[in-house]
Amino acid sequence: MANWIGGSAPAMAGQVAGGFVLLSAANLRGFTPAELQTFKLELEKALRNARAEVPPQDDALAQQARNHRIGRLSSAQKVVQNQLTKRR
Tens digits of residue pLDDT in 8-39: 999 999 999 999 999 999 989 889 999 999 99
| 15 within domain boundaries | yes
| 79 within domain boundaries | yes
Would you say 46 and 57 are in contact if contact means Cβ atoms under 8 Å apart?
Answer: no
| 3 within domain boundaries | no
Q: C-alpha angle 39/24/83, rounded to 5°?
A: 60
Q: Show contacts of 20-28: CB within 8 Å, 24+ apart.
A: 23/75, 23/76, 23/79, 23/80, 24/79, 25/79, 25/82, 25/83, 28/79, 28/80, 28/83
Domain tally, the chain = 1
Tens digits of residue pLDDT in 57-74: 999 999 999 999 999 999
Q: What's the pTM value of the predicted model, to 2 decimals?
A: 0.90
Domain span at residue 78 reads 9-87
| 16 within domain boundaries | yes
Would you say 37 and 81 are in contact if contact means Cβ atoms under 8 Å apart?
Answer: no
